[in-house]
């Protein structure tokens, strides 16, 4: 089944609901300009709550960063108890390699930073829609045709404008390793709509049946 990442979580209630809906990955945003920004101390409390309250054992926790140093990112991963960093800025292959498999690169569009440069130790990478004004979370739809050609060669998360209404078609067309959603399951930036999360997860499941 296509993996599911629900991103931009800001509170324990939404994180628990994401897991109940069937998320395999939970994403927390550490980019201050984002409306979904979360301070490391807040994230650490949510992770502590999840450890205490959930019986789920097979999910991964991801921190989203933009143009931060590897040392800073790794310190936050350790502080918050996160498994992976999603690097959503202009990080170089050399910087990504310093994580030794604890990070994967997000690409906004498929231009000069073409995904095949990605280091072999990354678990996957993410294809998002391009916007000149934002590092993701825009609600714009990615180029599914281009993403499909990449998905045939590499495991990818497909992001960008996915909703409960279009995720099934996106999976059919692109055949990604995983799908990533933030704004498409929200009632407001940083506040998840639990019914939309369940509908998104259900639509993803039906493609796999």
> Which of the residues are catalytic?
7, 128
Rounded-to-integer distance, Cα 144 and Cα 149, Å: 9
DSSP line for 131-194 = -TT-SS-S-PPP-HHHHHHHHTTS-EEE-SS--TTTHHHHHHHH--SEEEESGGGEEETTEE-H
Contacts of 158 (CB under 8 A, 6+ apart): 126, 127, 142, 144, 147, 151, 170, 171, 174, 176, 178, 179, 180
Instruction: Dihedral sign for Cα 109, 67, 76, 139, please.
Output: negative
């Amino acid at each position: 089944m296509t993996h599911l990442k629900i991103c931009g979580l800001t509170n324990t209630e939404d994180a628990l609901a994401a897991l109940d809906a069937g998320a395999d990955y939970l994403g927390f945003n550490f980019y201050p300009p984002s409306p979904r920004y979360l301070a490391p101390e807040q994230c650490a409390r949510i992770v502590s709550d999840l450890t205490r309250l959930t019986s789920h054992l097979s999910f991964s926790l991801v921190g989203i960063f933009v143009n931060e140093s590897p040392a800073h990112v790794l310190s936050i991963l350790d502080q918050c108890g996160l498994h992976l960093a999603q690097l959503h800025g202009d990080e170089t292959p050399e910087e990504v390699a310093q994580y030794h498999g604890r990070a994967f690169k997000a690409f906004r569009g498929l231009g000069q930073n073409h995904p095949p440069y990605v280091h072999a130790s990354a678990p996957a990478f993410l294809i998002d829609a391009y916007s000149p004004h934002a590092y993701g979370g825009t609600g714009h739809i990615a180029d599914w045709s281009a993403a499909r050609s990449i998905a045939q060669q590499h495991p990818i998360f497909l992001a960008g404008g996915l909703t409960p209404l279009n995720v099934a078609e996106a999976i059919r067309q692109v055949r990604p390793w995983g799908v990533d959603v933030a704004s498409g399951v929200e009632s407001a930036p940083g506040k998840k709509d639990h019914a939309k999360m369940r509908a998104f997860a259900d639509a993803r499941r039906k493609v796999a049946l």
